[in-house]
């Protein structure tokens, strides 16, 4: 003991360091569980899809069969994918027609126009809307949007149709559209706005010509991520969309239609034991397709979000 510190002393108590490494491994394994989850999702969907393709004899023509009248009737071995993809696209488009103006308008108002006091009240309200479960929006679609809005205006043949479901899905994704766009708008540095005011531009000019263009990648991201959510929405489409798999009529949005998600719930039908045969296995195939579609959209959307971060 000559009072000098050795290097070993600086590295600390070995027991504490060992404990630190143990914690690192424990925490690390919980992070890597997410990789396992993704792998399992892909494995389950891919395995089921292969089973499905085997049971239709790898004949991909079955998925776009023009010899019979098209339509999605798994139990009759009619798997016309276009029917359900169109169902998803149609209802998703109607949803975005609602969500983009309302969501973006709310975001611009919140970020550029609202006095602090109003913003403090309005923002939580929009967040409350974001927290409303989709079954409740489905109920709202059945008991309010259908009888009080769509029926009086369009008088459709059936009260459950793609317009009703589309509008309700739109309600569901307004908050996503609003909150991501608002983040993007607020990320625009105030120096840009001040420069614009400084040369005498009005608030409206500044908003439209300066702030919106500067935030465009974030707004695109909001649009893409909201679209992905709209396509992935299950309950509203299943409750209010009519769940009708007959094909040729899907182009009329006032007809009932079937989305990919609703087709999946139909195939499962609430039973846990029936897992055999193409009509059930197709569930995995549709699931895989849906997974790819939403993941593709999310990845692109995320790119745009990152771009906003890098810009400012």
Partner 1 sequence: MPIVTDSQRSATRTQVRQAITQQKRHLPSIALSVTLLIAVTFTLLTLFSLLARIVTQAIPAFSERGASFLSGTIGSEPDKVGIWPGLFGSFAIGIGVLLIAVPLGIGAAIYLEEYAEQNRLNRFVVVNIRNLAGVPAVIYGVLGLIIFVGWLKPVTNGGTVVAAALTLAILVLPVVIITSMEAIRAVPMGLRDAGYGVGASRWEVTRDHVVPYAMPGILTGTVLALARALGEAAPLIMIGAITGLLPETSLSGKFTAIPMLIYSWSGRPDSSGGNIGWSNAAAGAGLVLLALVLVFNIIGIFLRNHFEAKRVGT
Partner 2 sequence: MKFKNWALVATCAIALPLAACGGSDSASTPDSTESSSNGDGGSVFVTGSSTVEPISIKVGELAGTDDGGNIKVTVEGPGTGDGFKKFCAGDGDITGASRPIKEEEAIQCADAGIEYVELAVAIDGLTVATSVNNTAIECLDKAALYALIGPESEGFSSWADANTLAGELGSAYALPDAPLSIFGPGEESGTYDSFVEFAFKSIAGDRGTEVIARADYTASPNDNVIVDGIESADTSLGWVGYAYYRAETDRMKAIAIANDEGVCVLPTDETIADGSYSFSRTLYIYVNKAKAVENPAIGTFVDLYLSAAGVEQVVAAGYVQLEAAKQQSSVDAWTARG
Choice from 18, 37, 44, 69 touching partner 2 (CB under 8 A) = 69
Q: Does 78 bind partner 2 (CB under 8 A)?
A: yes
Choice from 133, 189, 248, 296 touching partner 2 (CB under 8 A) = 248
Q: How many whole angstroms separate alpha carbon 99 and alpha carbon 181?
A: 12
Q: Does 229 bind partner 2 (CB under 8 A)?
A: no
Binders of partner 2 among 255-294, rule CB under 8 A? Answer: 256, 266, 269-271, 273-274, 276
Q: Does 223 bind partner 1 (CB under 8 A)?
A: no
Cα separation values, 61 from 58, 78, 147, 211, 286, Å: 9, 11, 40, 49, 16
Shortest Å distance, C-beta 204 to partner 1: 4
Give the binding-site size for partner 2 (rule: CB under 8 A): 30
Q: Does 241 bind partner 2 (CB under 8 A)?
A: no
Shortest Å distance, C-beta 158 to partner 2: 5
Q: Does 140 bind partner 1 (CB under 8 A)?
A: yes
- Residues with Cβ < 8 Å from 255, sequence gap 6 or more? 156, 157, 158, 161, 162, 242, 244, 249
Q: What three-state secondary structure class fits 238?
A: helix
Matching residue, tokens 């999702």: 41
Shortest Å distance, C-beta 95 to partner 1: 13
Binders of partner 1 among 61-80, rule CB under 8 A? Answer: none
Q: What is the CA radius of gyration of the chain?
A: 26
Binders of partner 1 among 97-116, rule CB under 8 A? Answer: 101-106, 108-109, 113
Q: How many whole angstroms separate alpha carbon 255 and alpha carbon 48?
A: 31
What 8-state DSSP symbol labels residue 259?
A: -
Q: How many whole angstroms separate alpha carbon 124 and alpha carbon 110?
A: 11
Choice from 205, 248, 251, 276 touching partner 1 (CB under 8 A) = 205
Matching residue, tokens 């499905």: 52
Choice from 21, 47, 64, 68 touching partner 2 (CB under 8 A) = 68
Q: How many whole angstroms separate alpha carbon 257 and alpha carbon 221?
A: 28
Please report, as ranges, the residues that interact with partner 2 according to CB under 8 A: 26-27, 30, 68-69, 71, 73, 75-76, 78, 157-160, 242-249, 256, 266, 269-271, 273-274, 276
């Amino acid at each position: 003991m000559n009072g000098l510190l050795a290097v070993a002393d600086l590295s600390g108590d070995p027991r504490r360091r060992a404990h630190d490494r143990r914690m690192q491994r424990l925490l690390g394994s919980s992070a890597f569980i997410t990789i396992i989850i993704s792998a399992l999702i892909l494995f389950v969907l891919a395995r089921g899809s292969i089973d499905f393709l085997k049971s239709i004899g790898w004949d991909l023509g079955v998925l776009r069969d023009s010899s019979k009248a098209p339509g999605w009737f798994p139990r009759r071995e009619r798997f016309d994918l276009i029917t359900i993809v169109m169902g998803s696209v149609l209802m998703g488009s109607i949803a975005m027609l609602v969500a983009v103006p309302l969501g973006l308008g709310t975001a611009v108002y919140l970020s550029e126009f609202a006095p602090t006091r109003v913003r403090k009240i309005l923002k939580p309200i929009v967040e409350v809307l974001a927290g409303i479960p989709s079954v409740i929006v489905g109920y709202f679609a059945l008991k309010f949007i259908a009888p009080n809005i769509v029926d009086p205006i369009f008088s459709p043949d059936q009260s459950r149709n793609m317009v009703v479901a589309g509008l309700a899905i739109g309600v569901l994704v307004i908050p996503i559209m609003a909150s991501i766009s608002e983040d993007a708008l607020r990320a625009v540095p105030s120096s840009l706005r001040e420069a614009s005011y400084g040369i005498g531009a009005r608030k409206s000019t500044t908003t439209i010509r300066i702030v919106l263009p500067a935030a465009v990648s974030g707004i695109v991201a909001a649009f893409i991520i909201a679209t992905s959510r709209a396509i992935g929405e299950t309950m509203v489409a299943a409750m209010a969309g009519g769940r009708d798999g007959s094909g040729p009529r899907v182009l009329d949005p006032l007809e009932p239609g079937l989305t990919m998600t609703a087709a999946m719930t139909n195939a499962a039908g609430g039973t846990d034991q029936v897992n055999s045969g193409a009509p059930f296995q197709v569930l995995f195939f549709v699931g895989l397709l849906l997974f790819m579609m939403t993941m593709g959209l999310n990845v692109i959307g995320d790119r745009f979000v990152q771009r906003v971060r890098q810009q400012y």
